[in-house]
């Protein structure tokens, strides 16, 4: 007898669609990278562009807007300073991504070790 079916079709579909919902918000090349940088305390536009290698101003700008729409980032204008300084802050809600980011980073590290060991 095979003991293949761990989840029913319905459960599997549910599981897939939950991941789908997460990827809708976090998917793409840059969003998670931006969130990590923000959580790490890099908050200003040019600072982000410097630390996130390869991202263009246009893409960074667009991604920040989307993250703001999803409640993960807050755009704070420091009007008292000259020139006006703008900070992007990871919200408390973004902190709920810690486990996701942690799991991905752990796995990525392990995977890299595995790959480099095999050569």
Partner DNA sequence: GTTAGTAGTAAACTAAAGGTTAGTAGTAAC
Partner DNA sequence: GTTACTACTAACCTTTAGTTTACTACTAAC
Q: How far is the CB of 56 from a second copy (least distance, A)?
A: 16
Q: Is 25 in the site for a second copy (CB under 8 A)?
A: yes
Out of 82, 99, 117, 119, name the contact with a second copy by CB under 8 A: 99
Tokens representing 119 are 């050569």
Q: How far is the CB of 117 from DNA (least distance, A)?
A: 25
Asked if 26 and 67 touch (Cβ cutoff 8 Å), the reply is no
Q: How far is the CB of 67 from a second copy (least distance, A)?
A: 13
Q: Is 14 in the site for DNA (CB under 7 A)?
A: no
Q: Which of residues 77-116 bind DNA (CB under 7 A)?
A: 82-83, 85-86, 88
Q: How far is the CB of 75 from a second copy (least distance, A)?
A: 16
Q: Which does 21 bind (CB under 5 to 8 A by kind): a second copy, DNA, none?
A: a second copy
Gap between the terminal Cα atoms of the chain: 39
- Tell me how many degrees the CA angle 61-64-70 measures, rounded to the nearest 5: 145
């Amino acid at each position: 007898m095979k003991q293949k079916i761990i989840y029913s079709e319905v459960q599997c579909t549910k599981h897939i669609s939950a991941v789908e919902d997460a990827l809708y918000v976090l998917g793409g090349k840059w969003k998670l990278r931006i969130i990590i940088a923000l959580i790490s305390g890099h908050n200003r536009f040019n600072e982000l562009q410097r630390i996130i290698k390869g991202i263009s101003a246009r893409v960074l700008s667009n991604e920040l807007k989307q993250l703001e729409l999803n409640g993960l980032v807050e755009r704070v204008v420091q009007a008292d300073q000259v020139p006006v300084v703008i900070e992007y802050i990871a919200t408390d809600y973004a902190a709920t991504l810690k486990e996701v980011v942690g799991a991905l980073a752990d796995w990525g590290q392990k995977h890299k070790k595995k790959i480099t060991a095999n050569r």
